[in-house]
């Protein structure tokens, strides 16, 4: 219809010029041989197909151009009007949007400008961009982030790349929704949300000590690799009650390949291309799932042979691991596939983030000697009271207040979970904006945690900000602090992670001294980590006892 309107303008202009401006007659010829009779009737000769002189044509063209420009501006204004309810932003380059800029920023030690610059440019804590093939609203606003976390399952739902969904499986804790997710989340809290359990605490302590016994008195280790051994073996023990050995090591090797595939491109024919990262991850997933399936089937067979049914007396007996929790769950046991997917997803949660937290706590302490000295003093006091080689107890964990400050600050600065993706299930109203149903949203925890308006000297590692004597700073900081997410999808193992890191730091500082073996730096894509695994030169302390 707009084009018909433009054509109508042109036709009206032509009619106007023809009716109000007569066409001039041709001048008489000066050639005698062709001279016309004395009283000829002038023959009109059009100067243009429209019959209009150049001046009139120019005027008509100008009016036509003005009408066209007016239509384009009106259309653009209308488009803006329909989209202005979205937060302001840019779609970036054709096809790729701003994906390359985002990845480039997060591959550096300082990815903040990607969000900070856009927040400053648009004057809002939320902005619109286009990344990973979709229009996405980014949020650096703590109030909006809290709204998104609390609205999980109602106004918004979780949304993850297809590569992650395929590798984890549809029954993983990360991907289930509604009642199924609540059931799995409750079971996980039951198993992993009670780190005060004496058997669990004792097992963590034994695993840490067993790993450190393998370190030579003077040696160089890649701390991240050693931390991953601890967290993997601990998670396997909690899931299927298998101690470190050939089985756990073979599964761990495949698991590393599986993790590598999370942020690769899931080609439709990847299973036919085993040389691709994603193809290797799919193969590794089959092997890990197969190993878990064998254990689960044996446990199911044992349960049938023993004829053990749920009863009041059985309910009072503490389950020995997660598989037993699943087999004895209220409302009936889970299917084999559900248990495999669920256990596989818990391996991801326990393996990656806690090991990186352990490593970065040591890195930040090494770079902050005053904090390291205070941490050593706290743990040496605990050791002196207990004795050098006594197992740690829950009361010892509660006697580590500065250690908890160090863990909080490591989480705040490193942001192991940079944020979460959600998808709007309905139109979401926030401030003057409306985010339409179906739109993807990224709630950035990192942008909040490193905002100088929320935390004083936000880019500085300062564990003292969390001490109770800094009441204002600690209170404000805690209200904005979301390192483990929030709402219905709050990480169920967050307390266990704190205990593991605390035990690790206690055994490390009371048995070793160390220094960086070589310079290492942080990167944040595809996950938060150090480039080299943080190599350190260790020296066993003369007074250490194993």
The DSSP string of 381-405 is HHHHHH-TTPPP-HHHHTT-HHHHH
| Residue 33, domain member (yes or no) | no
- 393: domain range? 171-415+450-540
For the sheet containing 218-222, what is the strand order?
A: 218-222, 535-540, 512-516
The rounded mean pLDDT for the chain is: 82
216 shares a domain with 350? yes
Helix pair angle (494-509, 223-240), 10° resolution: 130
Segment 228-249, tens digit of pLDDT: 999 999 999 999 999 999 999 9
324 shares a domain with 178? yes
Q: What is the CATH number of the domain that holds 228?
A: 1.10.630.10
Task: Reply yes or no: is the peptide bond before residue 149 cis, omega within 30 of 0.
Answer: no
pLDDT at 318: 57
Residues flagged as binding site for heme: 491
Domain count, the chain: 2
Across the strands, what pairs with 185? Answer: none
Task: Reply yes or no: is the peptide bond before residue 431 cis, omega within 30 of 0.
Answer: no
| Residue 523, domain member (yes or no) | yes
368 shares a domain with 245? yes
- End-to-end CA separation in angstroms for the chain: 84
| Residue 71, domain member (yes or no) | yes
58 shares a domain with 181? no
494 shares a domain with 346? yes
183 shares a domain with 68? no
pLDDT at 35: 45
Segment 77-92, tens digit of pLDDT: 434 444 458 999 998 8
| Residue 193, domain member (yes or no) | yes
Q: Of the residues 61, 84, 107, which one is the last residue of a structural domain?
A: 84
534 shares a domain with 407? yes
Which conformational region is residue 415 in: left (phi greater than 0), alpha (psi within -120 to 50 degrees), or beta? left
Report the percentage of the chain scoring pLDDT > 90.
51
- Which residue ranges of the chain lie beneath pLDDT 50? 1-52, 60, 67-68, 70-83, 309-316
72 shares a domain with 208? no
| Residue 468, domain member (yes or no) | yes
Nearest to 14 by CA among 60, 55, 65, 54: 60
Residues flagged as binding site: 491
362 shares a domain with 253? yes
| Residue 444, domain member (yes or no) | no
pLDDT at 133: 83
| Residue 31, domain member (yes or no) | no
- The pTM is what? 0.79
Q: Which three-class secondary structure state does DSSP give residue 522?
A: strand
**How far is Cα 308 from Cα 167, in angstroms, rounded to an integer?**
34
67 shares a domain with 205? no
| Residue 120, domain member (yes or no) | no
Neighbours of 15 (CB within 10 A): 11
202 shares a domain with 70? no
390 shares a domain with 251? yes
């Amino acid at each position: 219809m707009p084009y018909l309107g433009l054509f109508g303008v042109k036709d009206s202009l032509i009619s106007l010029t023809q009716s109000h401006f007569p066409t001039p007659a041709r001048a008489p010829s000066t050639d005698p041989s062709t001279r016309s009779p004395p009283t000829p009737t002038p023959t009109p000769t059009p100067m243009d197909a429209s019959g209009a002189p150049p001046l009139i044509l120019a005027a008509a063209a100008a009016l036509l151009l003005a009408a066209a420009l007016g239509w384009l501006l009106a259309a653009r204004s209308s488009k803006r009007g329909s989209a202005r309810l979205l937060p302001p932003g840019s779609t970036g380059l054709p096809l790729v949007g701003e994906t390359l800029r985002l990845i480039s920023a997060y591959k550096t030690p300082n990815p903040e400008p990607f969000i900070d610059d856009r927040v400053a440019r648009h004057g809002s804590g939320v902005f619109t961009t286009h990344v990973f093939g979709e229009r996405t609203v980014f949020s650096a606003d703590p109030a909006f982030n809290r709204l998104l976390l609390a609205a999980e399952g109602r106004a918004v739902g979780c949304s993850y790349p297809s590569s992650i969904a395929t590798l984890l499986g549809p029954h993983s804790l990360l991907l289930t929704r509604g009642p199924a997710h609540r059931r799995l989340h409750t079971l996980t809290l039951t198993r992993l949300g009670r780190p005060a359990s004496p058997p669990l605490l004792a097992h963590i302590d034994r695993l840490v000590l067993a790993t450190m016994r393998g370190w030579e008195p003077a040696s160089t280790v890649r701390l991240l690799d050693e931390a991953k051994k601890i967290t993997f073996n601990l998670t396997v023990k909690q899931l299927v009650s298998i101690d470190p050995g050939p089985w756990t090591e073979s599964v761990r090797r495949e698991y590393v390949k599986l993790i590598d595939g999370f942020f690769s491109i899931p080609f439709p024919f990847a299973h036919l291309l085993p040389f691709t990262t994603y193809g290797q991850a799919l193969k590794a997933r089959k092997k890990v799932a197969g190993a878990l399936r064998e254990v689960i089937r044996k446990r199911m067979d044992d349960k049938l042979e023993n004829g053990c049914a749920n009863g009041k007396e059985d309910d009072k007996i503490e389950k020995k691991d997660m598989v037993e929790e699943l087999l004895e769950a209220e409302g009936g046991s889970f299917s084999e596939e559900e248990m495999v997917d669920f256990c596989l997803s818990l391996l991801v949660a326990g393996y990656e983030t806690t090991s990186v937290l352990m490593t970065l706590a040591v890195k930040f302490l090494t770079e902050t000697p005053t904090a390291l000295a205070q941490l050593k003093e706290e743990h040496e006091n605990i050791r002196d009271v207990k004795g050098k080689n006594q197992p740690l107890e829950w009361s010892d964990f509660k006697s580590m207040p500065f250690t908890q400050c160090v863990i909080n600050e490591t989480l705040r600065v490193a942001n192991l979970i940079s944020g979460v993706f959600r998808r709007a299930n309905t139109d979401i109203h926030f401030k003057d904006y409306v985010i339409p149903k179906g739109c993807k949203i990224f709630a950035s925890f990192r942008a909040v945690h490193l905002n100088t308006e929320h935390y004083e000297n936000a880019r500085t590692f300062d564990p003292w900000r969390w001490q109770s004597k800094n009441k204002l700073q600690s209170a404000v900081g805690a209200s904005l602090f979301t390192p483990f997410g929030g709402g219905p999808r709050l990480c169920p193992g967050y307390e266990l992670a704190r205990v593991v890191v605390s035990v690790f730091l206690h055994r490390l500082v009371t048995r070793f001294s160390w220094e960086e073996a070589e310079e290492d730096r942080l990167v944040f894509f595809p996950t938060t980590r150090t480039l080299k695994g943080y190599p350190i030169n260790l020296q066993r302390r003369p007074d250490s006892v194993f």
